[in-house]
Amino acid sequence: MTEKKAVSAEVPKETPVLKAVHLGISFGGLKAVDDFNMEIGRSELVGLIGPNGAGKTTVFNLLTGVYKPTEGAFYLNGKKMNGRKTYQVVEEGIARTFQNIRLFKKMTVLENVKVAMNKDMHYSPLASIFRTNSFWREEHDTDERAMELLDIVGLGDKKDAMAMNLPYGQQRKLEIARALGTNMRLLLLDEPAAGMNPVETDELLDIINNIRRTFGISVLLIEHDMSLVMRVCERIQVIDYGVTIAKGTPEEIAHNPRVIEAYLGKQAEKEVLNMKDASGHVIGEEGSAAAADAEPDKAEKPDETAGAGTPNR
Amino acid sequence: MPKSAKVSSLINLIGVFALYFLFLAIFESGIFGAKTDYFKGIATTACYTIIMVTSLNLLVGIMGEFSLGHAGFMSVGAYASAVFTNAIANSGIPDFPMFLLALLVGGAAAALTGFLVGVPALKLRGDYLCIVTVAFAEIIRVCFTNFKITGGGRTMSGIAKLSDFYWVYWVTVVCVTLMFLLIRSRFGRTVRAIREDYIAAEASGVNVTFYKVATFTISAFFAGVAGAIYAHYMTAMIPTSFNFAYSAEFLTEVIIGGAGSMTGSIIGATFLSALPEAMRTFARYRMLAYSIVLVIVMIFRPGGIFGTWEFSLTRLLKKIFRVKGTAPGGKGADAAKAGKTGKGASV
Amino acid sequence: MSIFLQALINGLNQGAIYALIALGYTMVYGILRMINFAHGDFIMVGAYTIFYTAPIMVSYGMPAWMAVLIAVVVCAIVGVLVERIAYKPVRGSGSISALITALAMSLFLENLAMVLFGPNPKTVLKIFKLPMITILGAKIQMKYLLTLGIGIAIMILMNVFVHATRIGKAMRAVPQDKEAATIVGIDVDRIITLTFAIGCALAAVAALMYVSTYPRCTTDMGSMMGIKAFIAAVLGGIGIIPGAMLGGIIVGLIEIFVKIYLAPGWYEAITYGILIVVLLIKPSGILGKNTGVKV
C-alpha cells in the first residue's frame, strides 16, 4: 500500500491501466474537452473534479466509447481504445456507473448483474433451446458469481427484488455490482454518492475500498462532494471548461489557487475551510481502510489542513 | 438439469399431448358432423395467428419496440413457400416433408428479409422505427403486387393444400416452445435489458445492435413460418391481404393480451381469430365491439389483460393437488410453461 | 412540357391534400408525442358529411362547396369527442397504450361508418362546375387550380394563426415544454382539445379537395390517405408545422411524377423508400432538429 502511495503523485511505473493522451472532443466547434491527459495505475483511486458543466461526464463518455474523440487517444493496459464501440471498450475492461441511475428497472437484482456477465457466458442458442448441461451449468455458475458480487455490495438478500423497488442508495450499489459483473480493470464512478446520506456514503466508501483490495481494480471517481474526494482519492485532477487546470495529491489540490478560484468561485475562503474540516475530521475518525491506505499522510494531513486554513483566515 | 425442471417439462409434455388428443377426439368423433372441416379451419387459423402474435411479442414485449409491419414478413413467408412448393410440385416428395420444407423456406425467406430490414431500421427507435416498419411492409406488398411470379397483383391460386390441422398444431407447439425457451435464456435476458435501458446495456458489455437485429430476424423467421402455414391453408392469396390493417391487428392482439406475456399472446390470438367466425352473424358490429373493447382495456388495464403473467401448468397442478414438494426455483419455474413447453424436456 | 405542367399541377394538388392531413398529425404529435392513427379517418368523416349535405345545400340554392362548412364543424366535434373519450384517459399510460387506442379509434370510426353508411362506395355530386383551361399547351382542370389555391390559402392562414395569435402561440409553446406552459398560464388541456379540433377541421377541408378531385367516398378511404399523410409529416419533420406542408407537397409530387414518368405500379414503394432513406440520414426529418440522447 505504501509503495502505491509513493508512485501516486507522479507517473505510475508499470504500464498504466489507463492512459489518456491529448484526448479531446468538440461539438460543433465548441471544445467540450481539450488536451485531457491522465494516467491511472493498478488499483489506484483517482478523482476527477470540476464545477458543473466542466466536462467530467464528457470525459467518461469518451473513455467508454459513447463519444468518439476528435483528438488524441486513450489506452487501456497499453492497448489503444480509440474508435471502439461502448460494448467493445467494456469487453476490454472499462466499466462505468451513471450519474442518473440507469438500471434494468423491471428485472430482478440478480438479473441486472447477470446481464453484465453475459459476455463471459458461452452456451449457444441451441444449448438454450435444448436445455443442455452446459446451459444449466453456466447459468448456475453465473448465479453464484453474481451472488458473490451482490454480497460485496450488501445486496445478497435482495437478489429477487425488482431493481426499481430498491431504495435509492441500494440502486447505486447495484449499479456498482453490475459494473463489477463485466469483470473490468478500470471502474468509472459518476457521482456515486449523489443523493446519499452520510451513513450510506460511508458504506459506499467501504465498498469501493473493498473492491479495490479484492479485485485489484483501478477507480476513476467523479464526485461533487469535495470532502469525499479529499478523503478517498490518492490523486486528483481538476478540469474546468474542458481544460485540466490542476493535478496532484489532495493536499496540493486544496492549496492550488486556480482550483479554489475555478471550483469555488467567490465563496472560496468559506468553502475551503469547510472542505478542510471535513477531510481532517474523517481521516481522524475512519480508522480502517482509508487510514491504512494513507498511512504516510495520516499524521501530516490534519496539520496541512490547519496550515492551509490559517492564511485564509 | 434440475429435477424440478425435468418434472415440469414432463408435465407440460403431457399437457400438450392431452390437448392434442382432445382435439383429435373432438374432430374425429364427428360430433360437428359436416361442420368438422369448418372448425378445423378455425383451429388452423388460430394456430398461425398464435405464431404471428407470439413472434411479434418477441419484439414488443421482450425487446420493447413496436412493429406495425409484421404482416409484411408473413407475406414474404407465404409467397416464398408458395413459389417453392409450386416449383417442386411434381417432384414426388410426400406431403409431410414437403410441408416442413415449405415452412423452412418461408421462415428462411422472412428471416433474410427481417435481417435486411432490421440492419438499417434498428438504427431508429420508438415511433420512428414503427413508421419504418410500416414503410417496409408497404414496400414488400408493392413488390408482390408487381412481381409476375406472385400473381402480378391478382390472386395467386392453386397452392397445394398442405396445412393439415394436426401438423399445424405440432408446428405451433414447437414454434412457441422455441421462442419461450429462447426468452428464458441469456439471450432473452440480454434483450430484456436492452428494452429496459439500451445505454446501460451497452455499458454492461452488450452488443445492442447485434441482439436487436438477431431478435428482429428471429421474429421475422417465425412470422414467415406462419405465412407458409397460411399460404398452404388458404391455397390462394392476394398481396393486399397483408396490409397495414392486418399488421395492426397483430399488434393490438399482442397488447391486449399483455406485452411480454406469451400466455396473453396465445389466448389473445386464439380468441380473436376464433371470435370473428363465431360472431359471423353480427359481422357488422363485431369490429365495432372489438374497437370499443380495445379502448376500454387500454383505459383500465394499459398493460394488457394478462400483463406479464405467465400460466404454468405445474403451478396449477400444485395448487390443485396441494403438493408440498420443493418449490421450483430459478430455471425450474422458468421451464414450467403451460401447454406449450414440452420440447425442452425431450432432450 | 405540357405533360410536365399537368403533372406538376396534379402533384401539387395531391400534395396539398396530404399536407392538410399531415398538419393534423404533426400538431397532435407535437403536443402529445402520439401517432394519432385515427386522424386519416377524419377525411372519411368529412367526405361522408359532404356527400350527405351537398345535395341539401344545392336544394336550398346554395353552392355545393358550402357543405364543407358543415363538414368542418362535424369533423371538429367528432375529433374533440374522440380526444376526450378515448385519448385523454390513456394519456398517462405510455406510448404503446396511446398508439393502440389510436388504432382502435381508427377501427371504430371505419366500422361505425360501415354500419351507418353501408359497405358500398358513394359517389359525391360534382362540387365545382369549372371548365378545362389551356396553359402553355397543357390542358388543366380549373378545379385543380382552385383546390390547390384553397390548400395554399389554408396553409398560409395556419402559419399566420400560429405565429400571430395568442392561441396560436400557445399551441406552439405547449409542445416545447408542457410544465413551463402551465406555469405561464396556458390551459394545456384546452390547447390539446383545440389542436384536435383544428386538425380535424383541416381534414374536412382536405376531404372537400379530395372529393372534388375523385368524387367517391368509401369507409376505408381514410386509412391509406392517412398513412401517406403521416409519412409526409414524418418526412418533413414531425411536430413541425412547415415540415408537414413541405412533406405533403413532396409526397404528392413524387406520387404523381412516378406514376406518369417512371413506373405506375411502384409509386408507393418509391415514396416509402424515400421516407426510409431520409429517416436513416436525418432521423428527425427534413426540417427537424437532431436531438441526441443525453448519457
pLDDT, tens only, B307-318: 888 888 888 888
Band of residue A291 on the pLDDT scale cut at 50, 70, 90:
very low
- DSSP helix/strand/coil, A184: coil
**Interchain pair C293, B139: CB under 8 A:** no
- Overall average pLDDT of the B141-161 stretch: 87
Band of residue A312 on the pLDDT scale cut at 50, 70, 90:
very low
Cα distance between residue A236 and residue A248, in whole Å: 5
**Which residue ranges make up each domain of chain A?**
1-93+185-285, 104-183
Is A137 touching B (CB cutoff 8 A)? Answer: no
Indicate the helix (H) or strand (E) that contains A94: strand A94-96
Nearest chain C residue to B304 by CA distance is C97
* Residues near A147 by beta carbon (within 8 Å), at least 6 away in sequence: A110, A156, A159
pTM exceeds 0.95, yes or no: no
Mean pLDDT of all residues in chain C?
Answer: 87
Instruction: Evaluate if residue C226 carries a pLDDT over 60.
Output: yes
The pLDDT of residue B38: 86
* Residues near B14 by beta carbon (within 8 Å), at least 6 away in sequence: none
**Interchain pair C97, B302: CB under 8 A:** yes
Residue pLDDT, tens place only, A72-83: 999 998 889 888
Instruction: Evaluate if residue B197 carries a pLDDT over 90.
Output: yes
Instruction: Evaluate if residue A302 carries a pLDDT over 80.
Output: no
The pLDDT of residue A126: 87
Number of Cβ pairs < 8 A linking chain A and chain C: 4
**Range scoring the smallest mean pLDDT among A262-266, A283-287, B154-158, B273-277:** A283-287
First CA to last CA across chain A, in angstroms? 35
CA distance A57 to chain C (A): 8
**Range scoring the smallest mean pLDDT among A257-261, B52-56, C118-122:** A257-261
Place of cell 401539387: C12
Is A87 touching B (CB cutoff 8 A)? Answer: yes
Chosen for mutation from B139, B204, B272 (greatest number of chain C CBs closer than 10 Å) is B139
CA distance C87 to chain A (A): 26
Residues in chain B with CB shorter than 8 Å from the CB of C223 are 244-245
Of B127, B288, B292, which is closest to C35 when you measure between CB atoms? B127
Band of residue C137 on the pLDDT scale cut at 50, 70, 90:
confident
Residues in chain C with CB shorter than 8 Å from the CB of B132 are 275-276, 279
User: What one-letter code names the amino acid at C43?
Assistant: I
Is A86 touching B (CB cutoff 8 A)? Answer: yes
In this structure, which topology does domain A1-93+185-285 adopt according to CATH?
Rossmann fold (3.40.50)
CA distance C143 to chain B (A): 31
Of C234, C238, C272, which is closest to B138 when you measure between CB atoms? C272
**Range scoring the smallest mean pLDDT among A60-69, A284-293, C141-150, C239-248:** A284-293
Residues in chain C with CB shorter than 8 Å from the CB of A61 are 295
**Interchain pair C223, B245: CB under 8 A:** yes
Band of residue C201 on the pLDDT scale cut at 50, 70, 90:
very high
Residues in chain A with CB shorter than 8 Å from the CB of C295 are 57, 61, 66, 98
Instruction: Evaluate if residue B206 carries a pLDDT over 80.
Output: yes
Cα distance between residue C54 and residue C41, in whole Å: 20
Band of residue C285 on the pLDDT scale cut at 50, 70, 90:
confident
**Interchain pair C269, B60: CB under 8 A:** no
**Interchain pair C227, B284: CB under 8 A:** no
The pLDDT of residue C134: 77
CB neighbour burial string for C34-52, b if at least 16 within 10 angstroms, e if fewer: bbbbbbbbbbbbbbbbbbb
Residues in chain A with CB shorter than 8 Å from the CB of B204 are 90, 95, 115-116, 118, 178-179, 181-182
Mean pLDDT of all residues in chain A?
Answer: 80
Instruction: Evaluate if residue B57 carries a pLDDT over 50.
Output: yes
A266 or B148, higher pLDDT = B148
Chosen for mutation from A57, A61, A104, A117 (greatest number of chain B CBs closer than 10 Å) is A104
**Interchain pair B126, C95: CB under 8 A:** yes
Instruction: Evaluate if residue A174 carries a pLDDT over 90.
Output: yes
Chosen for mutation from B63, B186, B194 (greatest number of chain A CBs closer than 10 Å) is B186
Nearest chain B residue to C276 by CA distance is B132
Residue pair A77/A93 in contact (Cβ under 8 Å)? The answer is yes
- Overall average pLDDT of the C89-109 stretch: 89
The pLDDT of residue C295: 60
Residue pLDDT, tens place only, B210-224: 999 999 999 999 999
Mean pLDDT of all residues in chain B?
Answer: 86
Band of residue A5 on the pLDDT scale cut at 50, 70, 90:
very low
The pLDDT of residue C51: 93
The pLDDT of residue B280: 67
Chains that touch C (3 or more CB pairs under 8 A): A, B
Q: What DSSP state is assigned to residue B184?
A: T
The pLDDT of residue C290: 64
Residues in chain A with CB shorter than 8 Å from the CB of B327 are none
Cα distance between residue C293 and residue C283, in whole Å: 13
Of B182, B204, B343, which is closest to A90 when you measure between CB atoms? B204
The pLDDT of residue C95: 83
The pLDDT of residue B324: 52
Tell which A residues from 254 to 273 touch B, by Cβ distance under 8 Å. none
% residues pLDDT > 70 (chain C): 98
C22 or B6, higher pLDDT = C22
Residue pair B177/B343 in contact (Cβ under 8 Å)? The answer is yes
Instruction: Evaluate if residue A66 carries a pLDDT over 50.
Output: yes
**Interchain pair B288, C90: CB under 8 A:** no
Band of residue C147 on the pLDDT scale cut at 50, 70, 90:
confident
Of C106, C268, C295, which is closest to B199 when you measure between CB atoms? C295
Residue pair C38/C106 in contact (Cβ under 8 Å)? The answer is yes
CB neighbour burial string for A198-230, b if at least 16 within 10 angstroms, e if fewer: eebbbbbbebbbebbeebebbbbbbbebbbbbb
Band of residue C172 on the pLDDT scale cut at 50, 70, 90:
confident
The pLDDT of residue B155: 87
Biggest CA pair distance of chain C? 65
Residue pLDDT, tens place only, A34-54: 999 999 998 899 999 888 888
**Interchain pair A129, B178: CB under 8 A:** yes
Instruction: Evaluate if residue C86 carries a pLDDT over 70.
Output: yes
Instruction: Evaluate if residue A298 carries a pLDDT over 80.
Output: no
**Interchain pair B248, C275: CB under 8 A:** no
Is C118 touching B (CB cutoff 8 A)? Answer: no
Band of residue C294 on the pLDDT scale cut at 50, 70, 90:
low
- CA-based R_g, chain A, Å: 20
Instruction: Evaluate if residue B327 carries a pLDDT over 50.
Output: no
Residues in chain B with CB shorter than 8 Å from the CB of A114 are 186, 189
Chains that touch B (3 or more CB pairs under 8 A): A, C
- Overall average pLDDT of the B145-156 stretch: 85
CA distance A186 to chain B (A): 13
Residues in chain C with CB shorter than 8 Å from the CB of B142 are 265-266, 268-269
Nearest chain A residue to B195 by CA distance is A104
CA distance B291 to chain C (A): 5
% residues pLDDT > 70 (chain B): 91
Band of residue B294 on the pLDDT scale cut at 50, 70, 90:
confident
Helix residue ranges per DSSP H, chain B: 3-29, 36-57, 70-87, 95-121, 126-146, 165-183, 186-196, 198-203, 208-234, 244-257, 262-278, 283-300, 313-321, 331-335, 343-346
% residues pLDDT > 90 (chain C): 33
Instruction: Evaluate if residue A303 carries a pLDDT over 70.
Output: no
CA dihedral B7, B13, B17, B20 (to 10 degrees): 130
Residues in chain A with CB shorter than 8 Å from the CB of B10 are none
The pLDDT of residue C66: 85
CA distance C50 to chain A (A): 51
- Overall average pLDDT of the B261-269 stretch: 90
Instruction: Evaluate if residue A275 carries a pLDDT over 60.
Output: no
* Residues near A254 by beta carbon (within 8 Å), at least 6 away in sequence: A230, A272, A275, A276, A279, A304, A305, A308
A113 or C280, higher pLDDT = A113
